[in-house]
Amino acid sequence: MKRNLSQRAMTRWARFLAIGCLALMLGCPSASSAYTTKSPEVVAMVNKAVAYLKTASHKKPGGWALIGLALLKNKESLSHPKIVEAADEVAKAVQKDVAGMDIYSTGLSIIFLTSYDSGKYRAEIESLLKSLTRKQKSHGGWGYPDLETGDTSMTQYGVLSTWEAHKAGFTISQDVVDRVAKWLIKTQDPSGAWGYQGNYVADSDKLVPQRKIRHSLSAAGLGSVYICADLLGMTPKLSRNDDPRLVGLKEVEEPKEETEQKKVKTNVNLELIRAAENRGNNWFQANETIETREETLYYMYALERYQSFRELAEGKAQRDPAKNEGPKWYNDGVNYLKKTQKEKGTWHCEGQCDEVVNTAFGALFLLRSTQKSIQRGFGDGMLVGGVGLPKEGQEFLDSEGRVIRKSPLGPFAAMEAALERQNAADLRSAVERIDQELQGKGSDLLTSEFQKQFRKLLSDPSPENRLAAVKGLVLSGDLDNVPTLILALEDRDPDVAMAASDGLCRLTRRFDAFGLRDDSTAEERRVAAEKWKAWYLTVRPDTEF
What was the pLDDT predicted at 473?
80
Query: Is residue 246 included in any domain, yes or no?
Result: yes
Query: Is residue 37 included in any domain, yes or no?
Result: no
Checking if the pLDDT of 338 tops 90, the result is yes
Q: Are residues 212 and 320 in the same domain?
A: yes
Q: Are residues 440 and 338 in the same domain?
A: no
Cα–Cα distance for residue pair 420/377, rounded to 1 Å: 7
Q: Are residues 323 and 368 in the same domain?
A: yes
* Angle at which helices 103-117 and 122-135 cross, to 10°: 150
Which residues are CB-neighbours of 90 under 8 A, at least 6 positions away?
61, 64, 65, 68, 109, 112, 113, 124
DSSP one-letter code for 237:
P
DSSP one-letter code for 404:
E
Cα–Cα distance for residue pair 38/537, rounded to 1 Å: 38
The residues facing 197 across adjacent strands are 151
Question: What average pLDDT score do residues 192-215 get?
Answer: 88
Q: Are residues 60 and 118 in the same domain?
A: yes
Query: Is residue 48 included in any domain, yes or no?
Result: no
Q: Is 544 helix (H, G, I), strand (E, B) or coil?
A: coil
Cα–Cα distance for residue pair 490/523, rounded to 1 Å: 9
- Give the phi and the psi of residue 412 in degrees, each rounded to 5: -75, -40
- pTM equals 0.64
Q: Give the residue numbers spanning the domain of 483.
A: 414-539
State the pLDDT confidence band at 98, using cuts at 50, 70 and 90: very high
Query: Is residue 478 included in any domain, yes or no?
Result: yes
Q: Are residues 120 and 201 in the same domain?
A: no
Cα–Cα distance for residue pair 294/538, rounded to 1 Å: 64
- pLDDT per residue as tens digits for the range 438-458: 544 444 445 555 677 777 777
In the predicted model, what is the mean pLDDT of the chain?
77
DSSP one-letter code for 459:
T
For the chain, the residue count is 545
Which residues are CB-neighbours of 398 under 8 A, at least 6 positions away?
252, 384, 385, 404, 408
Query: Is residue 103 included in any domain, yes or no?
Result: yes
Q: Are residues 361 and 441 in the same domain?
A: no
User: At 455, which amino acid appears?
Assistant: R
Number of domains in the chain: 3
Q: Are residues 129 and 180 in the same domain?
A: no
Query: Buried b / exposed e across 334-373, counting CB within 10 Å, b at 16+?
Result: bebbeebbeeebbbebeebebbbbbbbbbbbbbbbbbbbb
Cα–Cα distance for residue pair 26/281, rounded to 1 Å: 37
Which residues are CB-neighbours of 538 under 8 A, at least 6 positions away?
none
- Give the phi and the psi of residue 188 in degrees, each rounded to 5: -80, 135
The larger pLDDT score, comparing residue 246 to residue 152, is at: 152
- pLDDT per residue as tens digits for the range 125-169: 999 999 999 999 999 999 999 999 999 999 999 999 999 998 888
Q: Are residues 214 and 291 in the same domain?
A: yes
Q: Are residues 217 and 350 in the same domain?
A: yes
Cα–Cα distance for residue pair 173/183, rounded to 1 Å: 16
Domain boundary among 135, 159, 190: 135
Query: Is residue 233 included in any domain, yes or no?
Result: yes
Q: Are 327 and 255 in contact (CB under 8 A)?
A: no
Query: Is residue 153 included in any domain, yes or no?
Result: no
The residues facing 188 across adjacent strands are 194
Q: Are residues 247 and 314 in the same domain?
A: yes
Which residues are CB-neighbours of 173 under 8 A, at least 6 positions away?
133
Question: What average pLDDT score do residues 237-248 get?
Answer: 40
